[in-house]
Structure 1
Amino acid sequence: MIETKIRKVGNSAVMTLTTEMLAILDVKEGDTLFVVRGDDGTLRIMAHDPSVADALAAAEVVMDENRDLLQALA
């Protein structure tokens, strides 16, 4: 487990990514990250992957098209 702090920058709260975290994610300053919330409330940080972005966009379209059905099934 890696510990980091949250600090205020302007009107935002910022989490600092250490050099170790950047190396684990294989990212550098300026890269895009995805943060995904799990069913158990956890957050998962992932490096930007165009195939994941495409899959998420497609899933969003399907969910929008079937919103009523999905709500009935929930």
Structure 2
Amino acid sequence: MTKSTVPRRYLPSSPFNAPAAKPVEQFDTGDRVTHDLYGLGRVIGVEDEIAVLVDFGSHQQRITRPYPKLTKL
């Protein structure tokens, strides 16, 4: 018998070897960020880990947690 090189499938009902959740990124006022849809911006407000307000130059956008397309530069 040979070992298969295919990774094992994760079963949602299994408590073992569950994939670790990706940590939510923390943002502070003044951080430079990029968004997949809106482009480059600067964080101008943080709402207690619920949302961030970002100034993208032409407009401001409130982005809620878990900040799906927002990346800190």
TM-score relative to the length of structure 1: 0.26
Q: Which has the higher contact order (CA 8 A, sep 6+)?
A: 2
Larger radius of gyration: 2
TM-score normalised by the chain length of structure 2: 0.26
The structure whose residues are more often helix, as a share, is 1
